[in-house]
Amino acid sequence: MLRLKGLLQIMAAILLISLLFSAVPVRGEGGIEIKSFALEAMGEGYQISLDADITLNSTLEQALEKGIILYFVSKFELIDSRWYWLDEEVARSKRRIGLSYHALTRQYYLSGRMMVPQSFDTLQEALQALGKQHDIPIEMSSSLKQGVEYIATLQVWLDISRLAKPVQLEWFSSKDWNLISEKKEWHIKLPIAPQNLP
- The model's pLDDT over 137-187, given as tens digits with 9 standing for 90+, comes to 999 887 788 888 999 999 999 998 887 766 655 655 568 888 999 999 999
Mean of the pLDDT values across residues 104-111? Answer: 95
Check residue 107 and give its pLDDT: 97
Query: Domains of the chain: which residue ranges?
Result: 31-189
Check residue 168 and give its pLDDT: 58
Please tell me the distance from the alpha carbon of residue 9 to that of residue 30, in angstroms, as a whole number. Answer: 39
For residue 68, CA distances in Å to 28, 57, 83, 149 come to: 21, 14, 46, 42
pLDDT, tens only, 24-78: 333 457 899 999 999 999 877 899 999 999 999 999 999 999 999 999 999 999 9
pTM: 0.77
Asked if residue 132 has pLDDT above 80, the reply is yes
For residue 25, CA distances in Å to 21, 22, 51, 54, 176 come to: 8, 7, 26, 19, 19
Q: Which residues pair with 36 in a beta bridge?
A: 51
Please tell me the distance from the alpha carbon of residue 42 to that of residue 191, in angstroms, as a whole number. Answer: 10
Asked if residue 2 has pLDDT above 50, the reply is no
Residue type for position 40? E
